[in-house]
Amino acid sequence: MKNGKSHVLKALTGERAFKAATISVLALLTLFFTGIVLSMMVYTDWDTLFSTLISREILFAIRLSLTTATIATVISIVIAIPVAYAISQTEFPGKDIIDTILDLPIVISPIALGAALLVFFNTPIGAGIENRVMRFVFEVPGIVLAQFTVVSALAVRLLKSTFDSIDPRYEQVGRTLGCSKLKAFLRVTLPLAKDGLIAAGILTWARAVGEFGATVMLAGATKMKTETLPIAIFLNLATADVEKAVAVIFILIAISASALIVLRRISGKRWQI
């Protein structure tokens, strides 16, 4: 009996110690990020903050960021749906290689991606696109292309996880009831993937709003032309206008936090990536 009680006490002690350790690490990380935000709040001159929020330049940056991010997200999701479904539900030669290639934008620096795009538009094919189809280099369409290049892989990865979690037997039942492959996908699989689609859309959009590296390489950093919110931070820091840069950072934090709150409200649970 004594040995049994001793083992129970040891187990309880170990469980409490483990729980305390994990909560401590959680608290430290939370305090770290909270401290960063609080330090900006202490540094900020609130009069400057409010005047910055209504300035013509920042309003332009907000409109441009929201517009380009929305366009890039819509294109990414439309393309990611069939791509993610094919990777999730279909077996074909070279699948692992293709899956790896599609993941590259997640691990490669956005600046490197932007530089690669810039190099592409200096090739004969890229120059032909620039001259005869649409101009991307140092233009607003370049912002959309840069954002799409960075966030499309994220959209594919999120939607692949969603399709992986859907039992293919549901679609097979639809096929036995007379649905074609397309109809079964549209009427069965997509409705089941609704939460995943919403989550992918919101997270992809939020990431596009905050994209900087690829954008500044391809579209440049021109005030009132290609000035998204991250580029506004860069330009203001370059001119030592730290208070204005901090104000823009707060705008980005507010947009990101709002997107996450909407995501949690819609899905009703936390999505883990």
Q: How far apart are CA 5 and CA 2, in angstroms?
A: 5
201 domain-assigned: yes
Q: Which of 202, 200, 187, 169 is nearest to 84 (CA)?
A: 200
Q: Is residue 54 part of a domain?
A: yes
Contact 71, 144 (CB under 8 A): yes
pLDDT band at 93 (very low <50, low <70, confident <90, very high): confident
d(CA 191, CA 193): 5
Residue 272 lies in a domain: no
CATH of the domain at 95: 1.10.3720.10
Cα 68 to its chain centre, rounded Å, is 14
Q: Is 75 a member of any domain?
A: yes
Domain-embedded: residue 9: yes
For 196-247, write each residue's pLDDT tens digit: 899 899 999 999 999 999 999 999 988 889 999 999 999 988 888 888 888 8
User: Do residues 206 and 80 share a domain?
Assistant: yes
Residue 167 has pLDDT above 90, yes or no: no
Same domain flag for 29 and 120: no
- The average confidence (pLDDT) of the chain is 86
The reported pLDDT for the residue numbered 235 is 92
pLDDT at 159 over 60: yes
Tell me whether residue 273 is in a domain.
no
Distance CA 205, CA 103 (A): 18
Asked if 61 and 27 sit in the same domain, the reply is no
Place of tokens 């007379």: 178
Same structural domain for residues 110 and 9? no
In a domain, 124, yes or no: yes
Claim to verify: residue 133 and residue 156 sit in the same structural domain: yes
Q: Is residue 231 part of a domain?
A: yes
Residue that wins the pLDDT comparison between 71 and 245? 71
Structural domain of 17: 1-43
Percent of the chain with pLDDT over 70: 93
Average pLDDT over every residue of 115-132: 92
Who wins on pLDDT, 229 or 182? 229
What's the pLDDT score for residue 11?
Answer: 63
178 pLDDT tier (thresholds 50, 70, 90): confident
Asked if residue 55 has pLDDT above 90, the reply is: no
- 61 and 10, same structural domain? no
Q: Give the least confident one: 32-41, 114-123, 181-190, 260-269.
A: 260-269
Tokens of 107: 């691990």
Do both 138 and 243 map to the same domain? yes
- Same-domain check for residues 91 and 168: yes
Determine the pLDDT at residue 21.
87
Taking residues 84-96, report their average pLDDT.
85
Do residues 22 and 149 share a domain? no
Tell me, yes or no, whether 1 and 117 share the same domain.
no
Are 87 and 26 part of one and the same domain?
no
What confidence score (pLDDT) does residue 272 get? 46
The number of domains in the chain is 2
Lowest mean pLDDT among 16-20, 41-45, 64-68, 149-153: 41-45
Are 100 and 19 in the same domain? Answer: no
Burial class (CB in 10 A: 0-12, 13-18, 19+), 115: middle
